[in-house]
Chains A and B, each alone.
Chain A
Amino acid sequence: MSDRIDVLKTYKTYVGGKFPRSESDRTYKVKNSNDKIVANACRCTRKDVRDAVLAARAASKDWSGRSAYNRGQVLYRIAEMLEGRKDQFIKELELLGMKSKEAIYEVELSVDRLIYYAGWTDKYPQVFGTVNPVASSHFNFSTPEPTGVVGIIASDTDPLLSIISLIAPVIAGGNTCVILASESNPLPAVSFGEVLHASDVPGGVVNILTGYREEMVDHLSSHMDVNAVLNTIFDKKTRKLIDENASISVKRVVHYDSKNWADDTHENPYLILDFQETKTTWHPVGV
């Protein structure tokens, strides 16, 4: 055994296409399933939440304005980049205590899931859009449009697969998002930020924060500039807090009850629809 002291990486956050540390300059220790310290992560505060929402809002116009086809290309590119970095993610999942076979399965499924949603970007509007019969000389049609900025409170289980299952349908639908990564397993989320950075995702479309959930959930869910909240935490008190805070600006709130992120209920276009608003147009005809 050498006496060398391990150099533990401090994982940074991913906000606005950059990798800043927390504004607070604080970090916390990330442990694996054997309670061994494996890395440090930023302990973000409400001010980091504020900055991340600002970045997400700024990116919203460009991202929602891109063609559906282009969004599909970008999602596909994320999948390609993730495939290329498979080994890194497998190692990180193993570091957190996952068996090698499980880790490979999780990473591969994550790539496939991104491809799945890449395919949906230019198809869900046809599926969910409608032409409505009206009793006047109007052509009346409804199409889904992105809700805006979505706050995502990520799950502690399957840290990579769950975060991709949460992000993919949200950004496929033209939204931008701020993610509070898993408190106990933040590393795959932050590394995924590096993948996003290396692919063609514009800065600010996905923003990833790490830290103590209870220090941030309140400010994220009450933020007036957040249009929707996607929560995966079961805890009743947290859910109540989110529901109450969301009511201030009448945010769309979706609570997920999933415990198994590998099952195919997570590959479903209705998950895109969760963060869409319906726009109905009355177009005069025969005038």
Chain B
Amino acid sequence: MSVISIPDFNQTIPIDKVGVEERVSRLNKRSIKKESKVQALNLALSMIDLTTLEGKDSEGKVIQMCSKARMPYAPMPHLPSVAAVCVYPNMVTTAKKALKGTSINVASVATAFPSGMAQLQVKLDDTKFAVDSGADEIDMVISRGEFLKGNYNFIFDEIAAIKEVCGEAHLKVILETGELETYENVRTASDIAMYAGADFIKTSTGKISPAATQPVTLVMLEAIRDFYGDTGIMVGMKPAGGIRKAKEALQYLVLVKETLGAAWLTPDWFRFGASSLTNDLLMQIVKQETGVYQSLHYFSED
């Protein structure tokens, strides 16, 4: 890391708002048919971070969700399992146990998710607890208040400190783009997160609306591309929240392919943070296989 020179984050990188939205809408028009569609649906399924982040979560629900993560749809056992499950720190042990013997990762949100309004020490302890419980991935939130004040060093140091506590665990940094107001801010936050050591950058907590949008995702993907160009380090991307339809998922895959190339089209470098998306993907896969439009009634909720 020492050879990488850290840029001045106060230098705003201008983002062409109209251009970004135009490009997204053009890429959305791309038609994906038959075999490519089936392949993309399967790929999207394998990229899901199956998520439950609710105050009412129980061990039972987490165990149920983990069994769905292993085998998303029992009548089609050949379908891929999802990439990871994403839970609160106190559910990590439960999830870890339920997923024993699989390659499915356990991701845990940490650092006073979703607001991030806590002392650094509390956040570090929160992270440490999740890592000690066996989490393979940590989803942290940045302090948006400090960011909007322009306190970029604070953000950078915080991410770096959390990264240190993570150890072997992968660190995903949630920017909560719904609160960052502008694309320029999204770009700056992405750059800070990546230079501070993020393995993934993630759009949203899913608790704020708007959550993930495609233009925001494109801005972040371009940040990843530039970071890769400058440092040679690959960083992953995870849009989260609000992605419910298989069709949207495919549109995201097109954005990734066109911005970063095929190297990023694997669960190692791209994830969807979602829960209801899984069933829509499954319904589309079954539709492709049987030719019959499907009903949600035949798919398990968790």
Q: Please give the residue numbers on chain A whose beta carbons come within 8 Å of chain B beta carbons, in ascending order.
A: 46, 49-50, 53, 57, 219, 222-225, 248-249
Contact = CB atoms under 8 A, between A and B. Distances in A.
11 contacts: A46-B293, A222-B293, A223-B295, A224-B292, A224-B297, A225-B293, A225-B294, A225-B295, A225-B296, A248-B292, A249-B295
A248 B292 CA distance: 9
**Majority DSSP secondary structure for residues of B touching A:** loop
Interface of B: 291-298
A185 B267 CA distance: 52
Nearest to A46: B293
A219 B295 contact: no
Contacts of B298: 224
Contacts of B297: 224-225
A271 to B, nearest CB: 25
A50 B297 CA distance: 16
A225 to B, nearest CB: 4
A206 B292 CA distance: 22
Nearest to B293: A223
Which 5 A-B residue pairs are closest in the complex by CB-CB distance?
A225-B295, A224-B295, A223-B293, A222-B292, A224-B294
Contacts of A223: 292-293, 295
Contacts of B292: 222-224, 248
**Majority DSSP secondary structure for residues of A touching B:** helix
A224 B298 CA distance: 9
A249 B293 CA distance: 11
A57 B291 CA distance: 20
Contacts of B294: 224-225
Contacts of A57: 295
Contacts of A248: 292
A224 to B, nearest CB: 4
A223 B294 CA distance: 6
Name the residue in B293, B295, B298 with the highest tally of chain A Cβ atoms < 10 Å from its Cβ. B293
B244 to A, nearest CB: 12
B30 to A, nearest CB: 17
B50 to A, nearest CB: 23
B298 to A, nearest CB: 6
Contacts of A46: 293
A274 to B, nearest CB: 21
A49 B292 CA distance: 12
Nearest to B298: A224
Given A222-B292, A224-B293, A224-B297, 17 more contacts: A49-B293, A53-B293, A57-B295, A219-B293, A222-B291, A222-B293, A223-B292, A223-B293, A223-B295, A224-B292, A224-B294, A225-B293, A225-B294, A225-B296, A225-B297, A248-B292, A249-B295
Contacts of B291: 222
A208 B65 CA distance: 38
A108 B297 CA distance: 41
A50 B296 CA distance: 13
A50 B246 CA distance: 14
A248 B298 CA distance: 13
Contacts of A50: 293
A216 B28 CA distance: 27
Nearest to A222: B292
Name the residue in A50, A53, A249 with the highest tally of chain B Cβ atoms < 10 Å from its Cβ. A249
B26 to A, nearest CB: 19
A222 B293 CA distance: 7
A49 B294 CA distance: 12
Contacts of A249: 295
A219 B297 CA distance: 18
A52 to B, nearest CB: 11
A223 B298 CA distance: 12
A225 B294 CA distance: 6
A57 to B, nearest CB: 8
A225 B280 CA distance: 13
B242 to A, nearest CB: 18
